[in-house]
Amino acid sequence: MSDIIAEYMVNQFLETIGQPTQPTPALHDTSILLSVVFKADQIVWSMAKAYENQRTFPINI
């Protein structure tokens, strides 16, 4: 089940930053709790926001 969540998160991230994605298995057809999907969406949103901020303000270390 974790592989479905991971694939979902990768695809959501790519869609959020405007990249093409592969189809994700329908999450409603699995026994994944809605709270898990909600948390995954929160994590993906945070990752996408950080990615966009990094692209906007590159920092050379």
SS (H, E, C) 11-23: HHHHHHCCCCCCC
* CA–CA distance, 10 with 24 (Å, rounded to integer): 9
Higher pLDDT, residue 30 or 43: 43
At 61 the pLDDT is: 58
Distance CA 9, CA 40 (A): 6
What's the whole-number mean pLDDT along residues 31-51? 87
Q: What is the mean pLDDT of residues 24-45?
A: 78
